[in-house]
């Protein structure tokens, strides 16, 4: 059986770029960070896989554009990350929990730690979010600090924009996070 090609590309909408790695059937890595994207390609190449660059993912790019413009809430693509197969059981449980956070809502690192049965693991939740190989499909942008926006692998400015989009506003609106408001400048 012939090995399936690994494809790499990117989409851009409203000044936001997402970098993609996948096959014709599913995504294995999505990132708002070009550096993280290049690191993922390097790991795949070192493991013996051939990554074909500069590919177009027209279907996903259309959905991404609709999402960024506030016209889409979910994505129809499949995710089967080679990288998530290397995840710890804690990360896998957390990522499943994050997938259940509704569009436009947030949860704190502490709330998720508590739901996982370890209330003192808020920092571990943050670290697992940072290791998430499938941003948007596992929407870690919806996970925030109890009194601040928290971090994000794609950068805090991208996180602010995504939260504003999901809350029906423009990137310059106030963002409601749990019981607090943060002004997005």
Active site residues: 140
What DSSP character marks residue 54?
Answer: S
The answer to whether the beta carbons of residues 31 and 155 sit under 8 Å apart is: no
The answer to whether the beta carbons of residues 37 and 45 sit under 8 Å apart is: no
The answer to whether the beta carbons of residues 60 and 77 sit under 8 Å apart is: yes
The answer to whether the beta carbons of residues 174 and 184 sit under 8 Å apart is: yes
Terminal alpha carbon distance of the chain: 53
Backbone angles phi, psi at 68, to 5 degrees: -60, -30
Give the whole-angstrom CA distance, residue 173 versus residue 164.
7
């Amino acid at each position: 059986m012939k090995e399936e090609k690994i494809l790499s590309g990117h989409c851009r909408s409203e000044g936001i770029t997402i970098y993609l790695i996948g096959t014709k059937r599913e995504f294995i890595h999505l990132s708002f960070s070009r550096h993280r994207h290049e690191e993922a390609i390097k790991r795949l190449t070192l493991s013996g896989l051939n990554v074909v660059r500069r590919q177009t993912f027209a279907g996903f790019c259309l959905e991404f554009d609709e999402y960024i413009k506030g016209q889409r809430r979910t994505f129809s693509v499949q995710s089967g990350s080679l990288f998530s197969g290397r995840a710890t059981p804690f990360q896998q449980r957390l990522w499943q929990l994050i997938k259940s956070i509704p569009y436009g809502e947030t949860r704190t690192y502490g709330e998720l730690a508590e739901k996982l049965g370890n209330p003192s693991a808020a920092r571990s939740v943050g670290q697992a979010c940072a290791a998430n190989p499938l941003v948007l499909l596992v929407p870690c942008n919806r996970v925030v600090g109890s009194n601040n926006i928290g971090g994000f692998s794609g950068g805090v400015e991208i996180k602010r924009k995504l939260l504003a989009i999901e809350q029906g506003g423009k990137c310059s609106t106030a963002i409601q996070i749990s019981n607090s408001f943060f002004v997005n400048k």
